[in-house]
Amino acid sequence: MGSYRVCVCFQRRFKVAEAVPPLEVKEFFNKYADGGTHMTPEQLHRFLLEVQGQSGDDLDASRRIVEQVLHKRHHITKFVRHTLTLDDFHHYLFSPDLNPPIGSQVHQDMTAPLSQYFIYTGHNSYLTGNQLSSDCSDVPIIKALNRGVRVVELDIWPNSTKDDVHVLHGRTLTTPVEFIKCLKSIKEHAFTASPYPVVITLEDHLTPDLQDKAAQMLTQTFGDMLFCPGCENLKVFPSPEELKYRILISTKPPKEYLRADSVQINMKTSQKSVDFDEDESTKEPSVTKAQDEDDIPDMIEQSEDDDESNDGSASGLNSSSASNYKRLIAIHAGKPKGSLKEALKVEADIIRRLSLSEQALEKATVSHGTDVVRVLLCSDLRLFDFVNRFTQKNYLRVYPKGTRFNSSNYKPLIGWMHGAQMVAFNMQGYGKYLWLMHGMFRSNGGCGYVKKPDFLMNEGPDNEIFNPKADMPVKKTLKVKVYVGDGWRMDFKQTHFDLYSPPDFYVRIGIAGVSADEVMKKTKIKEDNWIPDWEEDFSFPLRVPELALLRVEVNEYDTHEKDDFAGQTCLPVSELKQGIRAVPLYDRKGEKYNSVRLLMRFELI
């Protein structure tokens, strides 16, 4: 019994009952227990096959489930009986550990080239908070790796005495952390959550001698873990399976940094090529503009003679030092010359990484072009065709625009729909878009690599490229039933949501994906109930189920103020298990609640 004080003299009392099995659960129990009061392992096995779709489970798996439930609920009677009551059966169904909504094992083909996967990617991975004044630390790097992030970004700069390498967000008030400390933490935690390769993207602002020192640090820290390609440019990149427990470095070769620096020096007197990374309406103030790879304008096109003369001796760069540094680079990056169309050209013998800001990608993928980015190009190919063809072999990294000072994020699906492998996110922030990122990388056992759908890797029968905005037929329909929710009474104080009564919960549920699939719906509000039972059905027609994410968000209705947040999750539709499942919920930052969960049913037809 819970009580809420209304005034000095009066209290309202509400009965807090245990969660009871929904009607449909009772019906399934009655059917598969053959009308009896207990369900045997054999009967449970039949339920798992016919309702839950677990065709691979044998009878021994059903026996283990019965033993686990009895051990948890009935310590004394676990050796007396080996059957489940209705409450035991409901407990099993409502247990995220025993009956999760998605699998926990790697199940996709991991033997394709690395470029054929979406990769869990962080942006400015060393920042503890905002982009301008937070501390730099190895702690957020460790946290990201333990969550399964596979691409870590480090901005490396000379320290104040120019004799060591620091990690910081340059030209801001962020406090630095030692490069070597970050490397040691990466080595220690790189494969805690996943055995698949970790990519370190370096935004390099070092002098030639410090580049050599950075190369020594990388070699001494990682040793044989480093993947250093035997030839300068790989025609076919190795697979995640081949690169298990390896560290890959991705950055610009040294000579390109020198060229970028010369651009900075001569910017006022030289004619600049088209800058597709820059948004005039959202430029950062010059006093805080961080001049890293994300913000440097396109390199000025130089003559071939200039390029050839820009060697190590001319610039003071020792050729052996440059060679040591360049040898470590597994994925070559670089700002392109000229237009975006030129940057997206696919070269037969070169695999490379291109970085685009979120604005640049949006410009490249709009259905109607502007003077800056024209939709129709040669051979009537739209610009997003170039993006998609580029990502079939090369790496595309998308990063947040520079004005996201508070470490907010953008819609990741824009990148995924066009094959971008590295959709870089501020993992230290939180919000709807980060929830989508978490949801996508719950796929494939949470290993940090998700195989791209075939339609992003192969052209159609008429050489057409996948267009997410095209008019497409419904391919699958996801049917969802929301039965009941529980756990808030264990994880929250009695007065957390309302001082005077139990909470009034409702569920928002919908799809994130291509624009034609996106929708949000909601249940009715269940008033004054810590264990709300909605028993509501929803149907979602999907045109591209391979990229669809199921969004679930629970809120507490408030008449006079903004509704209170009560939990969320995001699940890849392609990974959902059939049948009645226990769905754990997470807080705003993506940390799982101890007890809060929903009982739901899924069917993809």
Q: Catalytic residue numbers? A: 123, 169
How far is the C-alpha of 93 from the C-alpha of 32, rounded, in Å?
14
Question: At residue 210, what is the residue type?
Answer: L
Distance of CA 502 to the CA centre of its chain: 35
Residue of 291, 439, 300, 294 whose CA lies nearest to 358: 294
How far is the C-alpha of 259 from the C-alpha of 308, rounded, in Å?
11
Which SS3 state, helix, strand or coil, does residue 116 take? Answer: helix
Run of H or E residues at 252: none
In the numeric block, the tokens 């033997």 are attached to: 111
Residue 28, both tokens: 């399934």
Question: At residue 132, what is the residue type?
Answer: L
In the numeric block, the tokens 């051979």 are attached to: 379
Q: In the beta sheet, which residues pair with residue 469?
A: none
Q: Which residues of 109-145 are buried (b: 16+ CB within 10 A; e: fewer)?
A: ebebbbbbbbbbbbbbbbbbbbbbebebbbebbbbbb
Q: Please provide the distance, in angstroms rounded to a whole number, between the alpha carbons at the two ends of the chain.
A: 43
Which SS3 state, helix, strand or coil, does residue 397 take? Answer: strand
The phi, psi pair for 112, rounded to 5°, reads: -85, 165
Q: In the beta sheet, which residues pair with residue 44?
A: none
How far is the C-alpha of 538 from the C-alpha of 558, rounded, in Å?
24
Which SS3 state, helix, strand or coil, does residue 581 take? Answer: strand
Residue of 334, 328, 330 whose CA lies nearest to 255: 334
How far is the C-alpha of 585 from the C-alpha of 553, rounded, in Å?
8
